[in-house]
Amino acid sequence: MLKYKKHKFDTISNLEEPLIDMLAGMEGKNRKIVSITCDKTANIYLRVYRDAEQIVDLDCNKVTNEHPWVAMDLPLAVGQLCKTGFYNLSAGDVTPTITIGYEETG
Q: What's the CATH number for 2-105? A: 2.60.120.1330
Encode the chain (106 residues) as per-residue pLDDT tens digits: 899 999 999 999 999 999 999 999 999 889 999 999 999 988 999 999 999 999 999 999 999 888 899 999 999 999 999 999 999 998 899 999 999 999 998 7
Residue 105: the pLDDT is 83
| Closest by Cα among 47, 43, 59 to 83 | 47
Residue 15: the pLDDT is 95
| Closest by Cα among 35, 40, 52, 54 to 90 | 40
Residue 66: the pLDDT is 87
| Closest by Cα among 75, 35, 24, 31 to 58 | 35
Contact 14, 57 (CB under 8 A): no
Q: In what order do the strands lie in the sheet with 44-50?
A: 19-24, 81-88, 44-50, 53-59
Amino acid at 101: G
